[in-house]
Structure 1
Amino acid sequence: MMSAQQETFIAHLIELRDRLIRALIAVAVVFVCLMPWAGDIYDLLARPMMNTLPEGTNMIATGVVTPFFVPVKVTMMVSFVLALPWVLYQAWAFIAPGLYAHEKRMALPLVLGSSLLFLIGMAFCYFFVFGMVFKFIAEFAPKSIVPAPDIEQYLSFVMSMFLAFGITFEVPVAVILLVKAGIVDVAKLREMRPYVIVAAFVIAAIVTPPDVVSQFMLAVPMCLLYELGIVLAKMITRPAARAEAGQGPAPAPAALQGPDGAPQSLEADDRPRGKS
């Protein structure tokens, strides 16, 4: 016979399975609806590169099944992004019952804010970074070379860039979590500014292509987002500091006269009384 703890653990596992199944069903439904336009979706993803290629030049596919699987992978990625609100709701519905009220007030904005910042990072990469990077590479390439990128390598490059910029835009959330957890304070974050700037350019040099444009396009937003995180952390911690300052020391318990005339505290008076 199972104990109460085992039954509770199994119930949590069953609920987690149900939440994951609902999230996967939502992604699958969106994927099936988008599959007829998989080629158009890939063309949309490839537009920044196609705009910088010479007139009449197209991408190539070196694999036999690559022209089929690459658009399918892109469509799956787009399906997950479109179904992300429902996926996040399932995750929130699973963890919310185990949180305190103040944790719920903090967790929900962080989950929504981190998701929104990740999508903004992907959009910034697609609309601004890709165009400048591909244009720089096309102008730098020798005239004797006709660029014809492979679609699978292009997808791998795009996914790595999306991931790099999406994680970079999570810097404000990371700063807020560090401050709320008490690991660092706002004053320490300001002192770390020079080190953060150097680290931002080092990280940008590692995760981006070896060109100056993409490195600056990643490092500069990282530094600006770090400053934004400091401002938000200061705004969040200021009301808490005011609340703590407004709470004085707890008043001493009032004294009462006992039957023998001796002083008696209220705490002693709160003890349960039996029947006389």
Structure 2
Amino acid sequence: MVFLSELRKSIKLLGISIVVMSVVLFPGSGGLIALFQQHLKEQLYFFSVAGPFLAHVKVSFFGALYTLMPLLTYVLWKAMGKPFQVEGRRLFWYVAATCLLFYSGTVFCYLVTLPFGVQFLLGFQSEELKAVISIGKFVTFVTVFVLAFGLIFELPVFMIFSAQVGLISRRAFEKNRRFAILGIAILAALLTPTPDLVNMALMGGPLYLLYEFGILIIRVLGIGPSRPGS
């Protein structure tokens, strides 16, 4: 209840900020689409009158979320940390670490995972089977994929938070690796724009490495000492 009450105070500010930033970024959305298309190296098409306009709207909204991530992160951590007295310097480090991991995840996806995934999927076309790619679906594919990677890269921060406030101990993370692998597989299947195993592996593999990295950081920092049977 404390979390929801604190979050409700900032919902209106967040909504207005996202709308305003989307409008500000709309004139430059064509440049972002051209930047995304560098990984495709194919011609984009649209199959409805409103197709190009909606694609620009999607890209503007994505750009707003990406630009305002520090504000979104601050609001989220301020609300989450309220019941556990996470404030001041601790709040600053949680926000900073979350933003750093988010942007690292998006850059890794854009430079490494996205080109590989696009090339793999387009590798199945032939002389008889040529790709005709909708601009709307391509924009959705790229933005969802990039944002999803940014979000999953934040896993270590939430693991550290859980251990620090006593919700989940390090020992619990270590004992439940098999369930973590199952959860990661399900999450990768839900978040990847296409259900093929390659894209799921491209997301699930780094996510499991981040899970192990979170355990390592908790151990190194000595946060929330594990108790027998926890």
TM range (shorter): 0.7 to 0.9
Match of 1:180 among 164, 171, 182: 164
Match of 1:67 among 37, 49, 52: 52
Is this contact kept in 1: 2:152–2:207, CA < 8 A?
Answer: yes
In structure 1, the partner of 2:37 is 46
1:12-34 deviation per Cα after TM superposition (whole angstroms, max 9, x unaligned): 99x94xx6666566555654543
Is this contact kept in 2: 1:61–1:151, CA < 8 A?
Answer: yes
Aligned residue pairs, count: 219
Structure-2 change in CA distance of 1:95 and 1:170 (3 Å) = closer
Aligned partner of residue 140 in structure 1, secondary structure: coil
CA RMSD of aligned residues (A): 3.3
Is this contact kept in 2: 1:26–1:86, CA < 8 A?
Answer: no
Is this contact kept in 1: 2:33–2:139, CA < 8 A?
Answer: no
Match of 1:143 among 117, 127, 145: 127
In structure 1, the partner of 2:27 is 36
1:193-223 deviation per Cα after TM superposition (whole angstroms, max 9, x unaligned): 2332343234324432233321221111111
* More divergent stretch after superposition (221-230 vs 27-36): 27-36
Q: Is structure 2 residue 155 aligned with structure 1 residue 171?
A: yes
Measure, in 1, the Cα distance between the counterparts of 2:38 and 2:155.
29
Specify the code of the residue in structure 2 equivalent to 1:137: L
Structure-2 change in CA distance of 1:66 and 1:79 (3 Å) = same
Bigger CA radius of gyration? 1
Is this contact kept in 2: 1:132–1:213, CA < 8 A?
Answer: no
Query: Per-residue deviation at 1:191?
Result: 2.0
Give unmatched runs, 5+ long, in structure 2: 226-230
Measure, in 2, the Cα distance between the counterparts of 1:99 and 1:48.
44
Question: Where in structure 1 do 4 or more consecutive aligned residues deviate above 4 Å?
Answer: 19-33, 86-89, 92-96, 98-102
Structure-2 change in CA distance of 1:229 and 1:60 (3 Å) = same
Q: Is structure 2 residue 70 aligned with structure 1 residue 85?
A: yes
Is this contact kept in 1: 2:109–2:149, CA < 8 A?
Answer: yes
* More divergent stretch after superposition (129-138 vs 80-89): 80-89
In structure 1, the partner of 2:140 is 156
Is this contact kept in 1: 2:51–2:136, CA < 8 A?
Answer: yes
Aligned partner of residue 221 in structure 1, secondary structure: helix
Output aligned runs, 1:261-272, within 5 Å.
Answer: none
In structure 2, the partner of 1:259 is none
Structure-2 change in CA distance of 1:162 and 1:184 (3 Å) = same
Q: Is structure 2 residue 202 aligned with structure 1 residue 221?
A: no
Q: Percent identity?
A: 25
Measure, in 1, the Cα distance between the counterparts of 2:132 and 2:219.
50
Specify the code of the residue in structure 2 equivalent to 1:66: G
In structure 2, the partner of 1:244 is none
Structure-2 change in CA distance of 1:92 and 1:212 (3 Å) = closer
Is this contact kept in 2: 1:117–1:170, CA < 8 A?
Answer: yes
- Which structure has the higher relative contact order (CA within 8 Å, separation 6+)? 2
Specify the code of the residue in structure 2 equivalent to 1:210: P
In structure 1, the partner of 2:184 is 200
Structure-2 change in CA distance of 1:135 and 1:112 (3 Å) = same
TM (norm. structure 2) is 0.77
TM (norm. structure 1) is 0.65
Measure, in 2, the Cα distance between the counterparts of 1:199 and 1:86.
29
Measure, in 2, the Cα distance between the counterparts of 1:20 and 1:146.
45
Measure, in 2, the Cα distance between the counterparts of 1:93 and 1:226.
20
1:16-68 deviation per Cα after TM superposition (whole angstroms, max 9, x unaligned): 4xx6666566555654543332211211122212x2x3xxxx11111112212
Is this contact kept in 2: 1:172–1:225, CA < 8 A?
Answer: yes
Aligned partner of residue 64 in structure 1, secondary structure: coil
In structure 1, the partner of 2:174 is 190
